[in-house]
Structure 1
Amino acid sequence: MATSFITIKEVPISNNCPECFNNTGLKIIYKQKFVETKYYKSITDTITQDIICDNCHTTIYPVRWTEDIERVVAYQKKVLSPKTASTYLKKRTWVIAASTILTILIIVSLLIYLQL
């Protein structure tokens, strides 16, 4: 099972970085969890957020957030429109399901025919 994250939104913010104090390099990156197996692909409801400074190349963790950054993150979270959770069944799954149903139908029809 391969689990990865798809970037759904990247927002530059003009707050001061708590590390380098520059006000042009911060951005919030929202990612949504994507799961792929041999049988299906699925987009889940799990959303992560990271704040990264492009100037000092550091990740700003919630412990270091200022009140201004918290307000911007809260607003951006409200206006975020993630992809809807969905599951796509692959061809292999459909073949297995169809062959299983066909096998069951054959067995049931043979049992009915032999009892008559």
Structure 2
Amino acid sequence: MSEKFITIKEVALNNNCPECYSKDGLRLTFKQKFLDTKFYKSITADVSSSIACKTCNTTIYPVQWTDDIERVFEYHHRALEPKKASTYLKKLSWIAILFIAIVIAGIVFTVFYAKL
């Protein structure tokens, strides 16, 4: 099973970086979890976020956030519309479901017509 996080929204922030004090390097990124197995592909409701400064190449953790960064984060978090959680069954799943249905039909057919 492979788990990936797909970027669903990336925003350039106008706030000062707490590390290098640059005003044009902060990036807020929202990512959604994507699962891929042999039987299905699934988009989950799990959304993660991170803030990084592209000027000093530093990840800004919530402990380092200023009040301004926190307000901007909350605004973008409320405005975020993640993709709807969904599951797509692959061909192998459909084959397994069809096989199970045929086996059950065979058992039912044998039980009912063996009495005659």
TM-score interval, smaller chain? over 0.9
Tell me the equivalent position of 1:3: 3
SS at match of 2:63: helix
C-alpha distance in 2 between matches for 1:29 and 1:77 = 10
C-alpha distance in 1 between matches for 2:45 and 2:83 = 8
C-alpha distance in 2 between matches for 1:99 and 1:48 = 39
Counterpart of 2:70, as a letter, is E
C-alpha distance in 1 between matches for 2:28 and 2:100 = 47
Counterpart of 1:64, as a letter, is Q
Give the unaligned 5+ runs of structure 1.
Answer: none
Counterpart of 2:65, as a letter, is W
Tell me the equivalent position of 1:22: 22
Offset of 1:107 from its aligned partner?
Answer: 1.4
After TM superposition, list the pairs within 5 Å mapping 1:85-96 onto structure 2.
85-96=85-96
Offset of 1:18 from its aligned partner?
Answer: 0.3
C-alpha distance in 2 between matches for 1:49 and 1:110 = 56
Percent identical among aligned pairs is: 52
Tell me the equivalent position of 1:84: 84
Counterpart of 1:78, as a letter, is R
Offset of 1:35 from its aligned partner?
Answer: 0.7
Q: Any idea what the Cα deviations from partners look like across 1:82-110, whole Å, max 9, x if unmatched?
A: 00000001000000001100111011101
Q: Which runs of 4+ in 1 moved over 3 A?
A: none
Question: Normalising by the residue count of structure 1, what TM-score does the alignment of the two structures yield?
Answer: 0.98
Tell me the equivalent position of 1:99: 99
C-alpha RMSD of matched pairs (Å):
0.5
Number of corresponding residues = 116
C-alpha distance in 2 between matches for 1:44 and 1:88 = 12
Counterpart of 1:51, as a letter, is I
C-alpha distance in 1 between matches for 2:38 and 2:103 = 22
